[in-house]
A = this chain, B = another copy of it.
Amino acid sequence: MSDPLRLGIAGLGTVGAGVVKIVRQKAALLAERTGRPVTISAVSARHRDADRGVSLSDYAWEDDPVQLAGRDDIDVFVELMGGSDGPAKAATEAALRAGKDVVTANKAMLAHNGQALAELAEEQGRVLRFEAAVAGGIPVIKALTEGLAGNEITRVMGVMNGTCNYILTRMESAGLTYDEAFAEADGLGYLEADPELDVGGIDAGHKLSLLAAIAYGTQVAFDSVELEGIGKISIDDIRQASDMGFKIKLLGVSRMTGRGLEQRMAPCLVPATSPLGQLDGGTNMVVIEGDQVGQIVMRGAGAGEGPTASAVMGDVMDIARGTRLSTFGQPASSLRAATAAKSATPAPFYLRMSLVDKPGALAKIATVLGEVGISIDRMRQYGHSEGAAPVLIVTHKSARDALDRALEAMADTGVLASDPVVLRIEEV
């Protein structure tokens, strides 16, 4: 049997502890599959004495992850600290410079620094792998980078934030308001310390930007992801959507279009009978479409100790077996800078608005839409309440920029009682 593959693990939260458990409890299985033992030499975390449910006494301890990254007795630096910059990035860079391979679960770090880190890894002849950064236990980075490498990828979609999906599912199934469902998720510990990372779509946007880089051979472009959170979704939207056969999901979509790279993470309507529409609770789903393979759907747990540790170990096992891949599936120098194409692809839209109680209000809205060339598929006006009339419009397929012009013009009509809610209907 070959030399052991020696890990140094920085960050011993849920995922880090999960990785330690797998390495300890499955030593024989891992060695059988890779032909070499997988071992841990040293670990690092903020607090040495926390009870993590697993013994660390066999491993050297480093207070400083940068020191850990450079140790002579590790081959792979496993970065599970999180944070887009700061210690995670410093230690990752130190590890690559010291000739270590790196496995990370850190979507924020890669969304902000992916290109620079991929270039550094290649300069150093090391690999930087990140299966655990996207969609938890679902081996989607591997599927996209390797399994579907013979395809031109035409679209990548995903529900990749379990917390948002939990909130939206609870609003629908239990009739909770957004605030009630948010509070419930908070009570269950589902929210990040900064909840905006979840409900603002930022965390899921990070993940989408990493998938897009692989899919289209472009440099990670998180800054050009169009982000919309779920905070504007009301129980009314959930119910109206349901009446029309749709579910509302925080859906990421990326496409390479003639105008450039389209990346959007926003609440969308999807058919209730589609796999995405049927995805309830904290589960994740990624849909990849290729010109050869058609549509591939992958579903699984998007977070949690076991699933995320499983993804980390997938990368570790690859390295143990000698698999060497470019970070984003092709040399970093060959990744093109992407031109951002905002919402280039036309779609039907769902509009919910509240009109002032004046004669001709609805006519004014319909006229504005007609003037920008948007035709209406369905329109419903509900009974007045508190001096305003709820109106629901579903458009035929429309360009987003035309819709934006219409929304501006609507604001000038003086008939809107509040800002309209605009949701894209994604064909899946």
Contacts and interface: CB of A to CB of B under 8 A. Distances in A.
A54 B220 CA distance: 36
A119 to B, nearest CB: 15
Contacts of A316: 150
A16 interface: no
A160 B130 CA distance: 30
A200 interface: no
Q: Does more than half of chain A's interface fall in helix, strand or loop, or is it mixed? A: mixed
A34 to B, nearest CB: 8
A165 to B, nearest CB: 15
Contact of A310 (B26, B290, B309): B290
A299 B296 CA distance: 6
Contacts of A22: 150, 292
A331 to B, nearest CB: 6
Interface size class of A (residues with CB under 8 A): 35 or more
Interface in A262-294: 275, 278, 290-294
Nearest to A331: B35
B150 A317 contact: yes
A249 to B, nearest CB: 16
Contacts of A314: 146-150
B149 A317 contact: yes
A294 B307 contact: yes
Give the one of A32, A275, A278, A296 with max B CB within 10 A: A296
A33 to B, nearest CB: 5
Contact of A138 (B275, B296, B300, B318): B296
Q: How many copies does the complex hold?
A: 2
A213 interface: no
Interface stretch (A91-99, A178-186, A320-328, A372-380): A320-328
A324 B318 CA distance: 10
A150 B30 contact: yes
Contact of A293 (B32, B291, B310): B310
Contacts of A317: 146, 149-150
Interface in A312-360: 312-314, 316-318, 321-325, 329-331, 334
A307 B321 contact: no
A275 B294 contact: no
B310 A151 contact: yes
Nearest to A306: B292
Contacts of A318: 146, 149
B278 A292 contact: no
A136 to B, nearest CB: 8
Nearest to A136: B293
Q: Which of A26, A146, A298, A316 counts the most chain B CB atoms within 10 A? A: A146
A137 to B, nearest CB: 4
Given A138-B296, A139-B143, 19 more contacts: A22-B292, A26-B150, A29-B152, A29-B217, A30-B150, A32-B217, A33-B217, A139-B147, A142-B143, A142-B146, A143-B143, A147-B311, A150-B316, A151-B313, A293-B310, A295-B300, A296-B298, A296-B299, A298-B298
A-B pairs with lowest CB-CB distance, top 10: A150-B313, A139-B147, A137-B293, A149-B317, A293-B310, A292-B306, A292-B310, A297-B299, A296-B300, A147-B314
